[in-house]
Amino acid sequence: MKRALSNVVTGVLVVCALLVSVAVARREFAASPATTGPRPVAEWQELTTAGLRLGHQDAPVVLLEFADFQCPFCAVEARNIRDVLSHNGNDVAVVYRHFALEHLHPYAYEAAVAAECAAAQDRFDAFHDVVFDRQDEIGVTPWSQFAAKVGAWRDRLVGIEYSQQPFDPVLKSYQLRGPVPT
């Protein structure tokens, strides 16, 4: 009797384990129709009005990029975007929107602020490329050296005159803290 009860309990547990395994496998491997394929965004044109533009201002095709300067996947995508822009001339532009993931990338916010400083001096394109190309230097190389590579920040930051004040102390002093314009 004890043995029969033990066999029944074991059988019930095995069936339950199989049902749970099937449910988990189905959830993990079966694609939900709601999450696959393109998803329309009703206000997509509004999203392209703000941000930093790469490419021709009047391009008929505008790609919207949300990126983080410290993200390695974003760096790969930045090279792909450069290829798209170079192969399509004035037909394609990209609007770059900051998406600094500070919990993963400790210098992402500072890179976004530095990019805004470069943009204020019409150097965002070059800054974008230099920072993504030298991503492994972020946090080691001072922002002023990135800036020197693109010809920005000689005497000013974000339209404010600082004469000979270097960029890095200003960045660290919280004078530029607050939400990064997007």
Residue 170's pLDDT is what? 45
Question: Percent of the chain having pLDDT more than 90?
Answer: 5
pLDDT (average), residues 146-171: 50
Residue identified by tokens 């790969």 is 76
pLDDT tens, 33-48? 555 666 777 777 777 7
Sheet holding 92-98, edge to edge: 52-55, 92-98, 61-67
Q: Which residues contact 107 (CB under 8 A, 6 or more apart)?
A: 69, 70, 138, 139
pLDDT band per the 50, 70, 90 thresholds, residue 178: very low
User: In a 3-state reduction of DSSP, which class is residue 127?
Assistant: helix
Instruction: Name the token pair of 62.
Output: 């505008």
Distance of alpha carbon 30 from alpha carbon 104, whole angstroms: 30
- Sequence length of the chain is 182
CB 63 within 8 A of CB 95: yes
pLDDT band per the 50, 70, 90 thresholds, residue 156: very low
- Domain residues of the chain, as ranges? 1-35, 44-172
Q: Write down the CATH number for the domain with range 44-172.
A: 3.40.30.10
pLDDT tens, 88-130? 888 988 888 888 888 888 988 888 888 888 887 778 888 888 8
